[in-house]
Amino acid sequence: MAVDIGGLKLRNPVMTASGTFGYGKEYAPYVDLNLLGAVVVKGVSLQPRKGNPPRRIMETPSGMLNAIGLENPGVDVFLRDKLPYLSQFDVPVIVNIFGETIDEYRRIAEVLNNRPGIHGLEVNISCPNVKEGGMAFGSDPDMAFKVTREVKSATGLPVIVKLTPNVGDIQAVAEGVEKGGADAISLINTLLGMSVDIEKKIPHLKNIVGGLSGPAIKPVALRMVWEVVGRVSIPVIGIGGITNAADALEFLITGAKAVQVGTANFINPKATVEIIEGIERYLRKNKMNDINDLIGTLNTGGNVC
């Protein structure tokens, strides 16, 4: 079941998605963390962030909207209070980072460099880039390239860049990121969505718009993974609506080298381990020993879209 993601060796291809598994501790009563491919922690920034005012979440058909606002205690508190707990386990820890300027990305990567207990960085480039004009870094291939290069130059850790799906041409952004030196790409982050309370005539979320996640977005995520694996040669990690082993297998067959489980953790705290078990069962049933023999085996009958 082991896979290699840009030099990072995972016991199996199932990781947790950032922001949906806290800092690991929250799920430890339900999941033996040692069984996971990796734990990706909630996004961390240089300075603490309070997050958005409530109401922050809303259910949607087969999914949910969230506008947490990247609440986090900041990198210093993370290192002091959160990381030590995770370090007890024999599981790779990937820190999801974000900033509002390229400089912030570089600085947080520096702070996290050479820290024991951290095995990789996942760079979330879906945040609005305030300085450069309010557009997300991840919407522009050139900006995505720059952020990646900057982070790579600041760290010796494997760097995974996480893409936003709210773009017209995901392949172009993926190429930018590959050119910037990323060791892997993860996708997708949430789709921007909205929902309205028709009695009160207000948006359900105080922030008006929020990120859509869950099974509803799986088809979009899978399509983007398919587009990106066809374009770049670095490993791709599939994320979006994965709730069971069959979902994860769709991504692996399509070419993702690993997957992340997000919203599914909320509705079933044991989702990750059940998915791992399910993938193992599928391999046994299909008499395969190595998960790598399955990855990217999608047969499209010569058709390319």
Partner 1 sequence: MSLKLPGSFKKPIPGQFLMVRIKGRNEPFLGRPFSVYSFAQDGRGVYVEILYKIVGKGTMCLSGQKKGALLEIHGPYGTPFDMDKYPRNVILVSGGIGVAPVTYLASQYRHYLPAAPHLEMVCYHGVTGSRRLLGLERLKEFCSDVFISSDDGTVGYHGSVVEMFEKDVLSYNPEDTMIYACGPRPMLKKLAGLGEVPRFRCQALLEEHMACGLGACLGCAIRVRDGEGRGAYRRVCTDGPVFNIQDIEWDY
Ligand X SMILES: Cc1cc2nc3c(=O)[nH]c(=O)nc-3n(C[C@H](O)[C@H](O)[C@H](O)COP(=O)(O)O)c2cc1C
How far is Cα 190 from Cα 152, in angstroms, rounded to an integer?
24
95 touches a copy of itself (CB under 8 A): no
Of the candidate spans 8-16, 38-46, 82-90, 193-201, the one that interacts with a copy of itself by CB under 8 A turns out to be 193-201
How far is Cα 175 from Cα 161, in angstroms, rounded to an integer?
11
How far is Cα 21 from Cα 89, in angstroms, rounded to an integer?
15
- Which residues 58-77 are close enough to bind ligand X by CB under 6 A? 66, 68, 70
Chosen from partner 1, ligand X, a copy of itself, none, partner binding at 148 (C-beta under 5 to 8 Å by type): none
Residues in contact with partner 1 by CB under 8 A are: 19-22, 26-27, 42, 50-51, 53-64, 66, 68, 71, 214-215, 263, 265-269
Chosen from partner 1, ligand X, a copy of itself, none, partner binding at 141 (C-beta under 5 to 8 Å by type): none
Helix (H, G, I), strand (E, B) or coil at 72: strand
How far is Cα 105 from Cα 107, in angstroms, rounded to an integer?
6
173 touches ligand X (CB under 6 A): no
193 touches ligand X (CB under 6 A): no
The residue from 98, 218, 235, 276 that contacts a copy of itself (CB under 8 A) is 218
Q: How many residues does the chain have?
A: 305
Smallest distance from a copy of itself to CB 236, Å: 14
**235 close to 7: Cβ distance less than 8 angstroms:** no
Chosen from a copy of itself, partner 1, ligand X, none, partner binding at 249 (C-beta under 5 to 8 Å by type): a copy of itself
Smallest distance from partner 1 to CB 54, Å: 5
Going along 114-245, which residue ranges are E strands?
Answer: 120-124, 128-129, 135-136, 159-162, 184-187, 191-194, 196-197, 202-203, 209-213, 236-239
Helix (H, G, I), strand (E, B) or coil at 304: coil
Residue tagged active-site, from 64, 67, 95, 127: 127
Give the nearer residue to a copy of itself in terms of CB position, either 116 or 305.
305
Q: In 3D, which of 71, 68, 113 has the Cα closest to residue 95?
A: 113
Number of residues forming the site for ligand X (CB under 6 A): 25
Q: What is the DSSP letter of 44?
A: B
Smallest distance from ligand X to CB 138, Å: 10
Smallest distance from ligand X to CB 56, Å: 8
Chosen from ligand X, a copy of itself, partner 1, none, partner binding at 59 (C-beta under 5 to 8 Å by type): partner 1
Kindly list the distances between the CA atom of residue 185 and the CA atoms of 159, 261, 283, 287, in Å, as whole numbers in the listed order: 8, 15, 25, 29
Chosen from partner 1, ligand X, a copy of itself, none, partner binding at 240 (C-beta under 5 to 8 Å by type): ligand X
Smallest distance from partner 1 to CB 92, Å: 19
Smallest distance from partner 1 to CB 26, Å: 4
Active site residue 305: no
Containing 104, the helix (H) or strand (E) segment is: helix 102-112
For 267-297, b/e burial (b = at least 16 CB within 10 A) is: eeeebbbbbbebbeebbeeeeeeebeebbee
Q: Which sequence positions are flagged as catalytic?
A: 127
